[in-house]
Amino acid sequence: EVQLVESGGGLVQPGRSLRLSCAASGFTFDDYAMHWVRQVPGKGLEWVSGISWNSGSIAYADSVKGRFTISRDNAKNSLYLQMNSLRAEDTALYYCAKDIQYDSSGKLDFWGQGSLVTVSS
Amino acid sequence: EIVLTQSPVTLSLSPGERATLSCGASQSVAGSYLAWYQQKPGLAPRLLIYDASNRATGIPDRFSGSGSGTDFTLTISRLEPEDFAVYYCQQYGSSPWYTFGQGTKLEIK
């Protein structure tokens, strides 16, 4: 059974940093691209970032480019999102999601339950 | 950036009825690279349809997708009680920037 478990969320002040982690199990992690998608509670979905199976291809939404860094450790079956210079508008539930193929296609067939990030003073 | 607009915002129907949800794109979606997701309260989204018309693994055949270019449709042939949820379309044709529609809430009438 595919499982994606996010962690690392919490309350953080504007301008500070936070690192999210996603632990994957139930599939061959290094065979698939991975993504982060966020959702303001009660609102819609926003794709944040994606990374190919071997980290050779990485992309970011314009709203986070230059502030967020996605990475993965295939030996640990883990995905990460380093978030710097956080803003109030980054407040959201952050989902880790699995792509259906090794290179980023954008088709997301499994999602974690999310990690809540709240940016507030 | 391709903007996706879903309509209606809210759709009120009864179990057993047919649901038709629309997703319009601000420009043509390359390759009909469009997906539909279902999200229930407190849960993560679930992939229903990809490449406009292909059902994801385990998705009942009452769900179907169609369309190309700028106009796409998700149809649920006969609504079951568990189908009432929020539905999002997503385009992945302008890789690597993937955008979602604002969602359609399908509620029980």
* pLDDT class of B93 with cuts at 50, 70, 90: confident
Q: What is the pLDDT of residue B57?
A: 94
Is B88 in contact with A108 (Cβ distance < 8 A)?
Answer: no
Residue of A nearest to B48 (CA): A109
The rounded distance, in Å, linking the Cα atoms of B32 and B28 is: 8
Q: What is the pLDDT of residue A74?
A: 98
- Chain A positions in Cβ-Cβ contact with residue B44 (cut-off 8 Å): 95, 111-114
Contact assessment for residue A10 and residue A21, using Cβ atoms and an 8 Å cutoff: no
Q: What residue ranges of chain A have pLDDT lower than 70?
A: none
* pLDDT class of B96 with cuts at 50, 70, 90: low
Quickly list DSSP for chain B.
---EEEE-SEEEE-TTS-EEEEEEESS--GGG-EEEEEE-TTS--EEEEETTTEEPTT--TTEEEEEETTEEEEEESS--GGG-SEEEEEE-SSTT--EE---EEEEE-
**Bond from prior residue into A14 cis (ω within 30 degrees of 0):** no
Residues of A with CB under 8 A from a CB of B: 44-47, 50, 57, 59, 61-62, 95, 100, 104-109, 111-114
Is B37 in contact with A45 (Cβ distance < 8 A)?
Answer: yes
- Chain B positions in Cβ-Cβ contact with residue A109 (cut-off 8 Å): 47, 56-57
- Chain B positions in Cβ-Cβ contact with residue A59 (cut-off 8 Å): 96-97
Which tens digit of pLDDT belongs to each residue from B16-45?
Answer: 999 999 999 999 998 899 999 999 999 999
Is B44 in contact with A111 (Cβ distance < 8 A)?
Answer: yes
Contact assessment for residue B72 and residue B91, using Cβ atoms and an 8 Å cutoff: no
- Give chain B's mean pLDDT: 95
- Chain A positions in Cβ-Cβ contact with residue B95 (cut-off 8 Å): 104-106
Q: What is the pLDDT of residue B108?
A: 94
Tell me the nearest-neighbour CA distance from A111 into chain B, angstroms.
6
Which tens digit of pLDDT belongs to each residue from A51-85?
Answer: 999 999 999 999 999 999 999 999 999 999 999 99
